[in-house]
A and B are shown apart, each in its own frame.
Chain A
Amino acid sequence: MELKKSPLIEIWMSFRFDPGESPGKWDGARFNKLWKTLKDEYPNRQELRQQSIRVGTKKKSGDPVFKGFLDEIIAQRVISENELRVVQLRPDELIVNYVKGATEPYPGFESLLDVAAARCQSYFECYQPAGIVQTALHYVDIVEIPIESGQIRTGDYFTFDVRAPDSWTFGTFRLQTTLCPADSKEIIEVVFATEPGKTESGNARFRLEWHIASKSEDRMTIEQAKAALSNFHASLGKCFRQAFTEKGWALFEPQS
């Protein structure tokens, strides 16, 4: 079912790799190896660096000795021209993000999964890991709800709720929980929270985050990881629907 007003804002898939028996050192050249293959699609590059001071000890006295500065890259991310697609790299970890924006129509999960699998394939070609040890899928939704008579009864829209004495009203909240839906083998982490500020149209905003990761530490191939991600998508799709009441669901104008 397609939603005309989908609340999706961001989706990302992550892969953790087994580096194998002789993993190389993650220096600038190693990080850039993947970027070189993606440069045309992702021309912008950002690095997360960490500066530290190396201190040793003198052999005889044990006094501390300054051994120099260490400046290392701990992560790198490359960004597409329209800034909606991002590939992030950390030692033995790859994350492929998609941000939903006006400059590009949402391509759909299958298409994003193919992109993520292709990036994963590039990772294999560049770094030759022994396999994928974990994969995860993440969604972020921003749900806008019109304010009626100065208040919002969240129970009218969401099946999630926080109970409190009747006389209390909530200003903001942040609910973070791990759930295991009845028909799912995986644990899903959900964040349900108010989002800062009202929209320009005066609607209140709520944030829903969905995180699901594989538990198995067995090595997976790209195809197996793809299958796992497809299952996660199906699970999260069900959970997403179940998280809303009919009134809430109608906000997204579902198209049959």
Chain B
Amino acid sequence: MILSPHDTDFSYLSNRLDWTPKVALVSGIDGMAQATRCSVGELFDSEGRSFPLRQEMILRLYPPRDTSSWRVLSESLGTDVVGRGKTTEEAVNDWRHRFRATVERYLELRPFELSEEEQEVWSRLQLLIDIPRYKAKPMKVRQVGRVLRHRRDSSVTVVEWESGARERVNRESFDEKFGQFRIGQRFEAVVTRFPGTFKIERADAVRKLDIDQEKVSEAGKAIWEHLQSKVEKFADANSTPELDEKFWLE
């Protein structure tokens, strides 16, 4: 067999196969029999969100030989990400840190910014991580609206947002108090929405709003102007000859 080492980057292809040993005791304890092999559970980004993995991530640990540190590689990524540490724990943590940094770096780059080699690494990472799912992180938005109707036969409340859009929301996603808001009550809510469907996942906070002062003052102004014009018209219609100021002063 002739092996072309330039192509060893395709290692992830061969490792997709799950090895199920045929001899009873060979497997020992799943994921534990080999001390030089371990499975990583969840992997998180710097904000604490987990990367959705498409397959189990198996790490290979290499004990210190020429150097004094343990080396950790993932079966799927090979030397793209290497962790080092004086202990296995340190090396695995270092690997986690480097993995996170690598993924986040690639996430920030546009496809045209990647070199050919980087594109290959990025393809391998995408085979491991469900990037569209990772990117589809819920959005948090602040919205102002008013209650139009509570449906008593279900947990649905119809609201009208400031934009004029009407939406049926599930009261159970909101605070308990929300169900007690009167019809017409204005409120402000911080809601988490799914980016794909823009549906509300949950309301993180909701509070009643006082009467809209701006609208009140606008309405008041309009009423005042209206009244003023009425008064002027009335005054014109019932005008009396000008009085001698002196008369009044006396």
What residues of chain A have their CB less than 8 Å away from a CB belonging to chain B? 9-10, 12, 14, 16, 48, 75, 77, 79, 83-84, 86, 88, 90, 93, 95, 97, 99-103, 134-136, 138, 140, 142, 147, 150-155, 161-164, 169-174, 176, 178, 187, 189, 191, 193-198, 204, 211-213
Contact = CB atoms under 8 A, between A and B. Distances in A.
A198 B8 contact: yes
Contact of B4 (A151, A178, A187, A213): A151
Contacts of B15: 174, 196
A170 B5 contact: no
B5 A196 contact: no
B40 to A, nearest CB: 14
A134 B29 CA distance: 15
A189 B19 CA distance: 12
A99 B60 CA distance: 12
Instruction: Give the interface SS of chain A, mostly helix, strand, loop or mixed.
Output: strand
5 contacts: A103-B68, A154-B1, A172-B8, A189-B22, A212-B23
A163 B1 CA distance: 6
A97 B63 contact: no
Q: Is the interface of B mostly helix, strand, loop or mixed?
A: loop
Contact of B23 (A163, A172, A189): A189
A86 B29 CA distance: 13
A170 to B, nearest CB: 5
A135 B28 CA distance: 11
Interface size class of B (residues with CB under 8 A): 35 or more
B63 A102 contact: yes
B184 interface: no
Given A140-B34, A140-B36, A191-B19, A9 B63 contact: yes
B1 to A, nearest CB: 5
Nearest to A186: B23
Given A12-B33, A154-B1, A171-B7, A213 B26 contact: yes
Interface string B1-38: 11111111111011101010111111011011111100
Nearest to B73: A196
